[in-house]
Amino acid sequence: MQVLWIDGCVRGACSRTRRLAETFLNALAQARADVQIETACLNELGLVPFNEETLRERDGAADFSGREFEAARQFREADLLVFAAPFWEGTFPAALHTYLEHVCVTGLTFRLTEKGYEGLCHAGRAVFLTTRGGIYESGPAVRDNHAAAFLTTVLTMLGVPRLDTVAAEGLDIEGCDVEAALVQAERQARDLAQRIAADR
């Protein structure tokens, strides 16, 4: 199983999201001996949003062998996509939005037909691991949570039909037992990893 971990944990080693992601990935590797994990670390990739000039260069490429398509090629070949990013301003940090711009390449990861988008990516599912300061899975703030919905829209376009989400939330609310919330989310992450390992 070729797993691509899209590491959007901006705070690096201090990231609570990274802790959740590593719990999931370790559980998956323990459950399946054939798991191979590649990492796309957004802090290290340093991708920048496209502008008129860089879009023109990408659109004018003769094929998809260039370095500017490396992220998209890696994304396309993965069997399982694992996104890890905190909840920021309704979705997630800009680095992940920029990464998605770079992997959405017409003719490589998707194409347009008379019937609409046709995804060309190999993954049968994706996982989104996130941490949130507030409560967004219930109550009035549900309407402000666009992260998983946004990812689902993009992944559907790319041919990835399923997204599972594990979140630790309420972490920045005064009086929250942060450790207990993280432990509960880690338990959910391990359970999901074991189900995915058993499904494939």
Token pair for 114: 């008379």
- Identify the pLDDT of residue 184: 98
DSSP string, 109-172: TEEEETTEEEE----SEEEEEEE-SS--SSSGGGGG--HHHHHHHHHHHTT---EEEEEE--TT
Instruction: Give the C-alpha separation, 7 to 4, whole Å.
Output: 9
Name the band, by pLDDT with cuts 50, 70 and 90, for residue 88: very high
CATH superfamily, domain 2-199, is: Flavodoxin domain (3.40.50.360)
- Identify the pLDDT of residue 11: 92
pTM of the model: 0.95
- Identify the pLDDT of residue 156: 97
Range 89-114 average pLDDT: 97
Range 115-130 average pLDDT: 97
- Express each pLDDT in 153-189 by its tens digit: 999 999 999 999 999 999 999 999 999 999 999 999 9
Does residue 94 surpass a pLDDT of 80? yes
Rounded percentage of the chain residues whose pLDDT exceeds 70: 100
Mean residue pLDDT across the chain: 96
Query: What's the Cα-to-Cα distance from 10 to each of 112, 114, 130, 149, 166, rounded to whole Å?
Result: 33, 39, 12, 21, 18
Q: Is 89 helix (H, G, I), strand (E, B) or coil?
A: coil
Which residues neighbour 36 within 8 Å (Cβ) at sequence distance 6 or greater? 1, 2, 3
- Identify the pLDDT of residue 200: 62
- Identify the pLDDT of residue 72: 98
37: left (phi over 0), alpha (psi -120 to 50) or beta: beta
- Identify the pLDDT of residue 95: 97
Least confident of 10-14, 68-72, 90-94: 10-14
Q: Is 177 helix (H, G, I), strand (E, B) or coil?
A: coil
